[in-house]
Structure 1
Amino acid sequence: MADSGDWQLLDTYETKKFIKEVSDPAFGGLFDGPGYDLWTRDLQFLDGYGHYLLCNKGTFPYFALHYISNGEDHFYLDGSEHPLELLIRHGCLCLDKDNVMDYIGFHSDVTFYPYRKVKFIIDPSKTPYSGASAMGHHFKTLKHHAKFDLHESAEDACFYVHMPLLYNGETVGGYVQVMKSGQINILEPVKIPLMDGKREHAPLDYDHLHEKDLLAQNLDILMQSEEGKRLWETIKSYNGELKFVSGVGSNGLAIASRSTGYIVAPENIETCSPYQIITMIGVLREMELMLMGKKRPDPHGELHEVLEQHLIINLEILLEICIIGDELASAGHEDILRKFKESGFGDFYSGYKNEVSGEDLVRIAARIFELKVIEE
C-alpha cells in the first residue's frame, strides 16, 4: 500500500456493495473470506476514478485485490497494462506536471512484465532493495535522485524526466518520456516503450492465462521438500485444490468452505517464482490448519482475541515456511529462503534457526505484524 495517509477506509455497507459488484461466480471463494477491508485513494491523473484495494490485512500470506473505479464502473487490475490502457481509451487520463510522477509510480506498482527488467524509483526512501547490497544501492539512488529533473514539452506533447531506475538489478540514471497520451518511453539506459497499446488485451477477469503451468512448476519445486510433499499430499487427500488468480503482486488466500487456496500472480507471469512458492506454502499450511479446526477468527469479535488468533495462525504458517524453505535450500533452491528473509522475515528465520523460545518467536512475529504482546 501507499502511505496510510493517502488511503480512506470505507464502511461496511460500501464494502459489501463493492464486493457484490466485483464478484465472479466462478471465483466465489475469493469473496467468502471474512474480515475484508475496502480502502480507496484518489488518482489525480484519472478523471473521476480512484484506486480501490480489497484486502485482509490480518492474514499471512497477505491477500489483496486491486481495482480502478469511479464507484460504478470497476476495472480489475490484473497485473498487466491492460486496465490502464482501457481507461485511457475512455478519455480519463489527465496528465500535468503535478501528477505525472504519480502516474509513473502507479504504473510501476500495478503492472508487471517478466522480461522487462526496469523499475522506476519515485521515492528514494522506499527503494526496492534489501540484504548486504542495500546500502550501496541506496547511495546510488540518492545520487541519481539529486539530478532529478522534470520538464514539459509543449512541442512534443509530453514530459521528460531524469530519474533513478532499477535496471537489471543495478541503480542507474534514467531518462524517461511520458506522452500526454499515456505512453511511457524509457529512453535511457535502454529504449523500452510502455503503454503503447500494441499488446493483445485479455479479458479483465480473475482467470490466470498460465494457471496450469504455474501450478505444475511450483508444485514440482515444493515436492522436492519432504515436508512440502507431505503438506500437498495431505491437502489433496481431502480434495483440496489450488488456483492461480491474475492480480497485482504475489499473495494468497485459503477458503475453508470450498477447500480451495488462491494464489495471486500478475497476468503476464508464465514461470514460477520464489514469492509464489512462499505464498503456496502459506496457503497450504492454512488449509491444513483449517482441517484441524484452526480457523481465522470472526473479524467482529473482541479485538484483542481476534488479533491474538490471527497471530497464532500466522506463527504456524511462518514456521512451516522456515521448515520447507530450509529443505528446499538444501535441494538447491536457496533463493526462496533469501526472498523470504528479504521480505521482512529475517529476524523470524534467525530466531527459528537459533531455536529461541516459543515466547520469543511470538514476540518477533508480533513485531513483524505490528502487534503488542500482553504478558501473563
Structure 2
Amino acid sequence: MADSNDWQILDTYETKKFIKEVSDPAFGGLFDGPGYDLWVRDLQFLDGYGHYLLCNKGMFPYFALHYISNGEDHFYLDGSEHPLELLIQHGCLRLTENNVMDYIEFHSDVTFYPYRKVKFITDPSKTPYSGASAMGHHFKTLKHHAKFELRESEEDACFHIHMPLLYNGETVGGHVQVMKSGEINILEPVKIPLMDGKREHAPLDYDHLHEKDLLAQNLDILIQSEEGKRLWETIKSYNGELKFVSGVGSNGLAIASRSTGYIVAPENIETCSPYQLIAIIGTLREMELMLLGKKRPDPHGELHEVLEQHLIINLEILLEICIIVEELASAGHEDVLRKFKESGFGDFYSGYKNEVSGEDLVRVAAEIFELKVVEEE
C-alpha cells in the first residue's frame, strides 16, 4: 500500500455525508459509532477516484472499512476482485508504465483468492513472511527482484512484468501480464486469470456470500474449548449474535446497542480460518465486557485517558484469546495458536504462559499497540 504520508483526513461534514451515502440499514451497527475519521489517498491508475478508509474511532486499533470513490460514486472493497471489475467497466482505469505496479500492489492488498495461492511481492523490504523460514524467503525475493523487468506491449495492449511472487508458500520468479483493460493474468509459474468477470456485483454490498457456513464452521471449533463454549453460550443467553461482513482483512467489531458482533472476511472465502476465529473470540469477549459494564471510552475524551482505557479493554481481550487458543491447541487445533503468535502476539502469549506479572503484561500489550505506559511515581 502507499506510504501513510499519502493519506489525507477529510472534515466532519464530508465524513458525515460519506457515511450517509454508504450506510446499509441491514448493517447499521457498522455506521452508528461515537466517532469516525474518513481518510483518502489518490490512486493514480484510476481517473478521478481515490482509496477511502472509514475508521471507527470507538475501537483501538480502529475498525476500518475500505472504499473506492470519486466523492459521488462509491464502491465498497469486499476483499474480492469484483469491485475493481466494476470500476474497470466504468472506464476510469488509466494504466501506464509509471503506475501499473501501483495497480498490481493495490490489487494484491485488497483482494484475496483462497484457491489461488498467489501474492505479488512489489517491495522486497515488505515480504509477507514470518517464522523460521522468513530469512530464506527474503533472500529468494531479493534474487528474483534483481531480475525485475517491466515491458509495455503496444501490440497486445498490455504490460509484461517479471517479478517475485509468493506461490503456494514458496518465493518464485513470476511473469505477470496486465492488460490495459485492467485484467491481470499470471503466466508463470502457472497460468491464472485473476479477474474473470463471472459474477454480478453491487457497488455497496456488505453481505458475505458464505456467512452461514463460516459461522457454523468457526463456532464448531470454538466450542471445543471449554472457555470458548462458555463465552459463546453467555453471549447467546443475552440474545447476542455474530454477523459476517465481506471486506478487506480480518477484524471484528462489537456493538453494544445492537448486541451484535461483526466479523470481517474477504468475500471469496468459503471456509473458516484461524484469523476469523481469533477475531470472533476477541469480539465475543468485548461483547461480554460490555454486558459487565466495561465499555470503550468516548473517543473525544482526553487522549491519554482514552488510550489507557483502550489498553485495559485490549488486555482483557488478549488474555481471553490466550486461554481459548491454548485450549484449542490441546484439542488438536494448533494452527489457531500458531497464527495468533505469528500475528504479533507471540511475546504476549509467552508472558501469559510464563505467568509474568500484570504490570509486565501491560507493558507487552502497550508495545504491541505502540502505546507508552506511564509509570506512577
Q: Is the 8 A contact 1:59 1:314 kept in 2?
A: no
Q: Is the 8 A contact 1:186 1:192 kept in 2?
A: yes
1:256-288 CA distance string (max 9 Å, x none): 000000001111111000000000000000000
Q: Is the 8 A contact 1:36 1:56 kept in 2?
A: yes
Q: Is the 8 A contact 1:8 1:39 kept in 2?
A: yes
Q: Which residue does 1:17 correspond to in 2?
A: 17
Runs of 4+ deviating beyond 3 Å: 56-62, 198-204
- Alpha-carbon distance in 1 for matches of 2:186, 2:367: 40
- Alpha-carbon distance in 2 for matches of 1:205, 1:150: 35
The runs of 5 or more residues in structure 2 that have no matched partner are none
- Alpha-carbon distance in 2 for matches of 1:359, 1:82: 47
Deviation at 1:202, TM superposition (A): 6.0
Identity of aligned residues (%): 92
Q: Is the 8 A contact 1:61 1:251 kept in 2?
A: no
SS in 1 for 2:220: helix
**Structure 2 residue 352 is matched with structure 1 residue 352:** yes
- Alpha-carbon distance in 2 for matches of 1:100, 1:203: 24
- Alpha-carbon distance in 2 for matches of 1:298, 1:190: 51
TM-score under structure 2 length normalisation: 0.97
Q: Is the 8 A contact 2:61 2:369 kept in 1?
A: no
1:141-169 CA distance string (max 9 Å, x none): 11111111111111111111010000000
Deviation at 1:204, TM superposition (A): 3.8
Q: Is the 8 A contact 2:124 2:142 kept in 1?
A: yes
Deviation at 1:203, TM superposition (A): 6.5
- Alpha-carbon distance in 1 for matches of 2:363, 2:58: 16
Q: Is the 8 A contact 2:161 2:175 kept in 1?
A: yes
Q: Which residue does 2:314 correspond to in 1?
A: 314
- Alpha-carbon distance in 2 for matches of 1:135, 1:34: 43
Deviation at 1:236, TM superposition (A): 0.5
Deviation at 1:346, TM superposition (A): 1.0
User: Does the C-alpha gap of structure 1 residues 322 and 50 become closer, same or farther in structure 2, counting only changes over 3 Å?
Assistant: same
TM-score under structure 1 length normalisation: 0.97
Deviation at 1:5, TM superposition (A): 1.1
Deviation at 1:328, TM superposition (A): 0.3
1:87-122 CA distance string (max 9 Å, x none): 111100000001000100111111112101111011
Q: Which residue does 1:250 correspond to in 2?
A: 250
User: Does the C-alpha gap of structure 1 residues 345 and 256 become closer, same or farther in structure 2, counting only changes over 3 Å?
Assistant: same
User: Does the C-alpha gap of structure 1 residues 58 and 329 become closer, same or farther in structure 2, counting only changes over 3 Å?
Assistant: farther
Deviation at 1:350, TM superposition (A): 1.1
Higher mean C-alpha deviation, range 60-69 or range 74-83: 60-69
- Alpha-carbon distance in 1 for matches of 2:283, 2:357: 25
Q: Is the 8 A contact 2:86 2:203 kept in 1?
A: no
- Alpha-carbon distance in 2 for matches of 1:166, 1:70: 32
Deviation at 1:33, TM superposition (A): 2.1
- Alpha-carbon distance in 1 for matches of 2:59, 2:219: 23
Q: Is the 8 A contact 2:153 2:160 kept in 1?
A: yes
Q: Is the 8 A contact 1:61 1:282 kept in 2?
A: no
1:68-95 CA distance string (max 9 Å, x none): 0001110011111111111111100000
Deviation at 1:12, TM superposition (A): 2.3
